[in-house]
Amino acid sequence: MGTVVGMTGMDKEKLKEAVNRFHAVKIMVIGDVMMDEFIWGKVSRISPEAPIPVVDVRDESRMLGGAGNVVHNIFSLGAQSSLCAVVGRDEMGRRVVKELRKLGCTTEGIVVDESRPTTVKTRIVAHGQQVVRFDRENREKISEESIGKILYCVRDNLADTSAVIISDYAKGVICPKLMDGLRALLSKNKVIWAVDPKVRDVRLFKGVTIFTPNQLEAESITGIRIDSDESLARAGEKLKKLVQCKAALVTRGEAGMALIEKGQGVYFIPTVAKEVYDVTGAGDTVIAVMTMGLAAGLTPREAATLANFAAGIVVGKIGTATVRAAELINAITNL
């Protein structure tokens, strides 16, 4: 059926040594970048106009989201990253570029498309809880011209890339023509590549190294309801066959994670999160750390365990959060 693990049999020092090697890792991220906007406030009354809370706004903040949050996690952990994505010719697009440059990230892979807006997710948060979210976006496939520019940038920068992450938020960047071009480039160069998917046609991602759906996405892709270890094992095997990946990592919220490798069965990883305040961006952290771990020489099981530690840290923070290397090493040491 599988093996249930915590840190039993896992070498803590090896995990910490991998984190200390992250500075030598460079990850290319390709996908849907967005700006996450947070409006923070308090609720003390109900509107007389409708049965809804009135939020007294106290503060506002903006940060990179989607593929941008993956990049932010990579830099936060001491590695290097580049990003290939599409923004609009608008104020939020300029903010995306500005925030990337502040991280030290090259912006040569950022394509500006005047026909579409930069994706913005705005969350109203009161007393630590989201009240409502509204999105401004265009989810149509990106143009042929934008696809060509992204593929050109990828081809030009693969030589010094340790691994590639596909961060798919179904906003139009990850489409069949782009994936066909990427598959040809990545298979030729034998690069580790990982995919954090949205549920559509998983044939887009055939042949990837690591595939990281959450449990709901895994259920939707396989048509198997996951309500036991046995059903999870069946879903994992079907995922591997459908995507033809080397390994699938299913994230399961408070139930932890499950890694399914070819010929290895299911490897269950219990959560290490002490408190869960906000799961926003947790999937970005998981795929960033999982991929960085593989690039730093860890096995898939070791990299997944490291990603689980990182997820346990980030869900204890409110908003789109990242993990620092010192936090990750401290979490491993103190388990």
DSSP structure string for 101-145 = HHHT-B-TTEEE-TTSPPEEEEEEEETTEEEEEEEE---SPPPHH
Q: How far apart are CA 318 and CA 278, in angstroms?
A: 5
DSSP 8-state code for residue 216: H
Task: Note every long-range contact of 56-63, with CB atoms under 8 Å and residues 24 or more positions apart, other chains counting.
Answer: 61/37, 61/319, 62/35, 62/36, 62/37, 62/38, 62/95, 63/35, 63/36, 63/38, 63/99, 63/319, 63/320
With a CB cutoff of 8 Å and minimum separation 6, the contacts of 322 are: 69, 72, 73, 76, 77, 281, 285, 314
Residue-level length of the chain: 335
Find the catalytic residue in 168, 196, 278, 284: 284
DSSP 8-state code for residue 24: G
Question: Is 180 a catalytic site residue?
Answer: no
Point out the residues that are catalytic: 284
